[in-house]
Amino acid sequence: MPVLHNRLSQAELKKLLLEEQEPRITISFYRYFFIENPNSFRDTFYIKLNELKVFGRVYIAHEGINAQVSVPQSNAAAFEALMESIPGLEGLRLNIAVQHEAAENNRPAGGKSFWVLKVKVRDKIVADGINDPTFNMANRGKYVNAQTFNELSEDPNTIIVDMRNHYEYEVGRFENAIEIPSDTFREQLPMAVEMLNNAKDKNIIMYCTGGIRCEKASAYMLHNGFKNVYHLEGGIINYANKVKEAALPNKFKGKNFVFDDRLGERISDDIIAHCHQCGAPADTHTNCLNDGCHLLFIQCEQCKTAFNGCCSVECKDIIALPIETQKALRKGQDKGNMIFNKSRQRMPQLKK
């Protein structure tokens, strides 16, 4: 029986990745389709991906598959053939990362986004909190491509809804898009229904990073009585690639937050966010270098230097201590949801 897990440490795996000479391509994909035995599907899928030296994060559930992976360039054709050979994944749309050719702000290039392969079985491929047995993903909104999205966005009868988290919305979004201000997708769904309750006859276009959240959200809106519901095909990633290919106006401003080591890919030159420490224009997310904190926040280059990559003077002082002392300080510590939520002031104010 082949080994279905990684034997090397995270540090060793990351070192091997950075030593690779061959370019990699970051690809995301998902599909809602019924998988009768997710565990069996997972084991077979892991073996096939591992043979192609694919890294990344894959979730399998009865409702389908959701994945973000990094594929060696020489195995790209074999990877596409593998996807096409799996019943239920024929004709799968593969979203290629917008920035896969070069690194930015000392972040890894798009292809070096993952250094380990993890294929996990979950209850759902995106946690939604929906327990209504009458909810049906087959009844979902209409796809809109980049051109149709641009055209509909000019219609005053259209409402554009961002179905991502607050920290994603903060660094980049479509023109005139409204935010559903919550920390999780499961919170957003009922909030979206409530916020748009008086707009059931308007055109509602929902979007997210790669399409998986807004596709489910469109089905949920139809389930709750909305009539003209659309969702952006392939999300922001596909939109950015298509407007570039077709020389269409780009209506997305700023950066697209991504859930890998890059933490963002630039879609336009606009910087619409601000450093959480000094307020200067900035849109680079980082995790506090204090292992007892790891707060996700936005930091400009000046504050990065001043705070040694930390979120506060306290954390800056802690990382200057001996490693054993740092370990003792964080022993038994519960960091909780360490994301800086500026709108709700949930996290402590960053201070100099």
Q: Catalytic residues, which ones?
A: 208
Concatenating the DSSP letter of every residue in 6-33 gives --S-HHHHHHHHHH--S-EEEEEEEEE-
Residue 340 in contact with residue 297, Cβ under 8 Å?
A: yes
Residue 257 in contact with residue 285, Cβ under 8 Å?
A: yes
User: What percent of the residues of the chain are helix, what percent strand, and what percent coil, each to the nearest 5?
Assistant: 30, 20, 50
Helices and strands (H and E) in the chain: how many: 11, 15
- Continuous H helices in 70-184: 76-85, 146-153, 166-171
Under 8 Å CB-to-CB from 100, ≥6 apart: which residues?
24, 25, 26, 109, 110, 111
Q: Which residues of 74-108 are buried (b: 16+ CB within 10 A; e: fewer)?
A: ebbeebeebbeeeeebeeeebbebbbbeeeeeebb
CA dihedral 266, 270, 273, 275 (to 10 degrees): 80
Under 8 Å CB-to-CB from 211, ≥6 apart: which residues?
30, 95, 231, 232, 233, 234, 235, 238
